[in-house]
Structure 1
């Protein structure tokens, strides 16, 4: 019985490290990338193109953009007036920006 449990545990660990990608996003790096690529339209968490859809926590929640996955998809593929950044930023940079946006929305954007 112990041998079976050991095998199941080992398989579980291997599966988790093989198929589940850990979140290693770097919000500090994301801040720099945001400043260089996003701040023109989203300075201070605002949205110059569509003022109702800011990067404030309440708006991110309202529009279903309150997860790393949702923000990463939006930045990667773009939507509406927002351009896609796939090809301009690599996947790690996009994840860093998403992490920064989510983290900063939790703290509250400064003016």
Structure 2
């Protein structure tokens, strides 16, 4: 019984560290700076100057299936339609930071 419990506990620890990114790796303060320098010209205050209905407000992100770290990361990295790809311009850490900032601001309704 003790051996089984040890194996289960070890499996849980390995799974936790192997598949979860540490929370301290993302920095929304740095993300705000990246956003200001690269995104604010089109998305100031969570707006969208190109397509007004596809803004960065929480309800619009949810409506268009973009209210997740994965979806926003893909959009920023690869671009889509009028939005350029930032893959070659920003490091992956910068993209992660800006995604954290966008989600944080969406939750605050960009106030």
What is the CA distance between 1:29 and its match in structure 2? 0.7
Question: Within 5 Å, which residues of 2 pair with 1:13-52?
Answer: 13-23=13-23, 24-52=25-53
Corresponding residue for residue 8 of structure 2: 8
What is the CA distance between 1:3 and its match in structure 2? 1.4
What is the CA distance between 1:95 and its match in structure 2? 0.7
Secondary structure of 1:98's partner? helix
Secondary structure of 1:59's partner? helix
Query: For structure 1, which segment, 15-24 or 79-88, has the greater mean C-alpha deviation from structure 2 after superposition?
Result: 15-24
Normalising by structure 2, we get a TM-score of 0.92
Secondary structure of 1:11's partner? helix
Gaps of 5+ in 2: none
Gaps of 5+ in 1: none
Corresponding residue for residue 95 of structure 2: 94
What is the CA distance between 1:19 and its match in structure 2? 3.3
2-structure distance, mates of 1:2, 1:9: 11
What is the CA distance between 1:77 and its match in structure 2? 0.7
Corresponding residue for residue 105 of structure 2: 104
What is the CA distance between 1:21 and its match in structure 2? 2.4
CA offsets 1:2-31 (integer angstroms, 9 cap, x no match): 112102211221232123323431111100
Give the CA RMSD over aligned residues.
1.2
